Structure formats: C-alpha cells, structure tokens
Amino acid sequence: MAMKRTRTPWMKAEDFGRSLPHGLGVNLLVTDMAAMEAFCRDVLGARIIYADEDFAAIELIGSIIMLHADHSYLDNPMTGVTAGAETRGAGIELRLYGADPDAVEKKAAALGHVVLAGSIDKPHGLRECYIVGPDGYVFVPSARLQA
C-alpha cells in the first residue's frame, strides 16, 4: 500500500475497524480525495470525521462510508477492477434515504456536478434525484412523500 499521508490519523486503523457497527459498509475508491470529500460535504451534507491524502471516514445520514485513494489500494485485489475504468460504480445507485433531493440537486448544479435526473415524485413513495459525483459514482438522495 502506498501512503501519501502527511499527518497523524485520528485513531489507529484497527481501532476504527473494530468500532464499525454490523451491517453494510460502503468503501469508494477514488482518484481525487479532495474532490470527493468536497462533494460529500458541500453537496450531500456529509460530516467529514477524518480525512487525509489516503483515507477518509465520512458520516452521511447516520451511516459511515469510507473513501480510499487509488494509490492506497495498489496491493489490493480491487486494483485490477478499477485499473482503466472510465467510470466507477457502474450500475450502482448510492441511495441516501432521508436526504432532501431538491436541496442536493440545487447544490450539485450550483457546484457544476451532473444532475442525471432532477427531483421528481416517484410512484414508489419517494421524491428523488440522481446526481453524478466525482469518478462517476451516482448518488440518489430520496425523501418520503407524504401520504
């Protein structure tokens, strides 16, 4: 693993791993850490728990997601999956239940991100939009429609 970290992590990696709750975890491999952190914070309203050049832990609507820079995964089997990929996460929607799609859409558009589909009420009881973030990951903020 290649490290570019220039500061001391807020906790040991093994302690962070042990602190994670049971359930589904999301780890996004990214080409530009700063761009994805800014997108998560400024567009999605995430709280950055910790971030450096290699890794970030982010709280997003009550869930923890992780970002890893490509260079930090050089010895990982995922390197073969991402090498040469034009777009990451093809076919995956990162759904953000409880996020305000109208607010996220407005922020995304103002910051120059692609709004793949604007906010609309869907027949499955949610109002949602589709936003393309850095590296092509698609985020779908969704809010319940009133009955």
How do the domains of the chain map onto residue ranges?
A: 13-144
- Ranges of H-type helices in the chain: 13-19, 33-42, 78-82, 101-110
Which residue's structure tokens are 């220039």?
Answer: 6
DSSP 54: S
- DSSP per position, 79-101: HHHHTT-SSSSTT-EEEEET--H
The yes-or-no verdict on residue 129 having pLDDT over 90 is yes
| Residue 22: pLDDT over 90 | no
Q: Decide yes or no: CATH 3.10.180.10 for domain 13-144.
A: yes
What single-letter DSSP state applies at residue 145?
P
Q: Yes or no: say if 116 and 138 are a contact pair by the CB < 8 Å rule.
A: yes
* Predicted TM-score of the model (pTM): 0.86
Q: What is the mean pLDDT of the chain?
A: 89
pLDDT at 4: 73
Q: Is the pLDDT score of 81 beyond 70? A: no
Nearest to 36 by CA among 137, 113, 134, 138: 134
Distance between CA atoms of residues 46 and 40, nearest Å: 5
pLDDT beyond 80 at 85? no
pLDDT of residue 38: 97
Q: Is the pLDDT of residue 123 over 90?
A: yes
